[in-house]
């Protein structure tokens, strides 16, 4: 596809490029792995660059990285496989969040512990084409995934009229559903504080941030709550205060949450959620915990919404 970025397996980065990329990954805030997993990745990259990739086995990693003795049995002890799976997921997450434009790609293909290095290259079509600004989306076009289909001239006025009609209806709906100041009825207000990591593990901070975003997204789906993210005003509004913490012990994860009534400081709801990040992807855990919290809060907030409500505010 013209203009696409493709990975060219035949393009190999130099060892210096790979080591520089590895250092960039390990020092990134978006690469949330414990030190043992980072040593794991450093070890297999160094061994491969030094020409010893064919000797990288589960038992080698267990002894030289994890400190296991010669009795280690990879068939009975899945610790190396589990750690390798976490490394693969974190590498994918890093290149998605922090390194979408990094030139050197480091991956650990499934079924092996030997890493793969390659250069992310631009296709010849993009490299030779002059730089252009992306075209504005015309109102008389339908955009498919990889193509633009222009409507016939005779139908353009219908599209324009329909667009104007939809805009007018949307504005009318907003006006009709706006809260009436005279009645004094609004929707429930809750101030969301970001989850606080209470562990020193770097991954705890990343999980806390992701869990905070997931919770706000889940609460936005509740029909009786207006979600407003305002992290710059410094306001401390809200009838209720939501607080959460993330605690990690090894691969065990505990997410704690509570809802506090701000008028008297009473805790009106609280819950703990225990997970194992070695058995389930972190993204799934974040989504499931946020879904459970939002579902639990839906009922009390709906009752409050019959009397009083306000925009939901995300605090920092």
- Taking only the tens place, the pLDDT of each residue in 147-175 is 444 555 555 555 566 665 656 565 555 45
Q: Could you say which of 109, 124, 139 is where a domain stops?
A: 124
Residue 163 lies in a domain: no
* pLDDT higher than 90, residue 248: no
pTM of the full structure: 0.39
pLDDT at 148: 45
Whole-number Cα distances in Å, 107 to 6, 39, 41, 248, 302: 15, 15, 10, 27, 47
d(CA 259, CA 193): 11
| Section 164-191 average pLDDT | 56
CB burial of 187-215 (b: ≥16 within 10 Å; e: otherwise) equals bbbbbbebbebebebbbbbbbbbbbbebb
Whether 256 has a pLDDT exceeding 80, the answer reads: yes
C-alpha distances out from residue 236 to 156, 191, 247, 273, Å: 49, 7, 26, 27
Residue 162 resides in a domain: no
List the end-to-end C-alpha distance of the chain, in Å, as a whole number: 43
Per-residue pLDDT for 125 more than 80? no
Q: Which of 5-14, 37-46, 120-129, 167-176 has the highest mean pLDDT?
A: 37-46
Average pLDDT over residues 47-65: 93
Identify the domain boundary among 93, 124, 155: 124
- pLDDT (0 to 100) of residue 50: 94
Decide if 203 is inside a domain: yes
In this structure, of 69-73, 130-134, 254-258, the range with the lowest mean pLDDT score is 130-134
Most confidently predicted of 135-139, 238-242, 269-273: 269-273
pLDDT at 310: 44
Number of structural domains (the chain) is 2
Same domain flag for 200 and 290: yes
Provide the percentage of residues in the chain whose pLDDT is more than 70.
65
Task: Report DSSP state, residue 227.
Answer: E
Residue 193 DSSP label: P
Q: Are residues 196 and 294 in the same domain?
A: yes
Please provide the average confidence, as pLDDT, over all residues in the chain: 75
Domain presence at residue 165: no
Q: What's the confidence (pLDDT) of residue 108?
A: 95
Q: Which domain holds residue 101?
A: 5-124
Q: Are 310 and 212 contained in the same domain?
A: yes
pLDDT of 47 > 90? The answer is yes
At residue 261, the pLDDT reads: 83
Q: Select from 268, 273, 270 the least CA-distant residue to 300.
A: 268
Residue 153 lies in a domain: no
Burial class (CB in 10 A: 0-12, 13-18, 19+), 53: middle
Specify the range with the lowest mean pLDDT, choosing from 45-54, 130-139, 240-249, 296-305.
130-139
Report, as an integer, the average pLDDT of 250-258.
Answer: 87
Flag whether pLDDT at 141 surpasses 80: no
Q: 119 with 206, same domain?
A: no
- Same domain for 194 and 309, yes or no, is yes
Which among 124, 147, 181 is the end of a domain? Answer: 124
Q: Is residue 132 part of a domain?
A: no
**In the chain, where do the E strands start and end?**
5-7, 104-107, 116-122, 141-143, 148-150, 190-192, 196-197, 227-228, 240-249, 252-261, 266-276, 312-314
* Dist CA 119 CA 53 (whole Å): 19
**Pairwise CA distance, residues 84 & 43, whole Å:** 12
């Amino acid at each position: 596809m013209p203009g696409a970025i493709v990975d060219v397996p035949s393009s190999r980065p130099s060892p210096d490029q790979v080591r520089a990329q590895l250092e960039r990954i390990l020092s990134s805030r978006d690469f949330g792995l414990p030190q043992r997993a980072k040593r794991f990745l450093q070890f297999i990259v160094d061994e491969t660059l030094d020409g010893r990739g064919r000797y990288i086995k589960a038992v080698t990693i267990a002894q030289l990285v994890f400190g296991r003795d010669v009795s280690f049995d990879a068939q009975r002890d899945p610790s190396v496989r589990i750690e390798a799976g976490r490394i693969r997921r974190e590498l994918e997450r890093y290149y998605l969040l922090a390194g979408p434009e990094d030139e050197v790609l480091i991956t650990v293909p499934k079924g092996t512990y030997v890493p793969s290095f390659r250069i992310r290259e631009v296709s010849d079509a993009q490299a030779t084409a002059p730089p252009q600004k992306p075209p504005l989306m015309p109102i008389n076009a339908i955009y498919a995934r990889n193509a633009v289909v222009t409507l016939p001239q005779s139908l353009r006025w219908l599209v324009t009229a329909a667009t104007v009609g939809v805009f007018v209806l949307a504005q009318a709906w907003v006006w009709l559903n706006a809260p009436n100041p005279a009645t004094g009825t609004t929707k429930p207000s809750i101030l969301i504080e970001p989850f606080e990591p209470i562990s020193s593990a770097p991954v705890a901070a990343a999980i806390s941030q992701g869990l905070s975003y997931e919770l706000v997204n889940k609460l936005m789906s509740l029909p009786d709550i207006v979600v407003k993210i305002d992290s710059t005003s410094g306001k401390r509004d809200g009838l209720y205060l939501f607080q959460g913490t993330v605690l990690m012990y090894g691969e065990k994860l505990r997410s704690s949450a509570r809802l506090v009534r701000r008028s008297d400081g009473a805790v009106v709801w609280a819950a703990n959620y225990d997970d194992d990040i070695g058995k389930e992807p972190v993204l799934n855990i974040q989504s499931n915990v946020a879904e459970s919290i939002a579902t639990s809060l839906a009922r009390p907030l709906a009752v409050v919404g019959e009397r009083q409500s306000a925009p939901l505010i995300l605090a920092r």
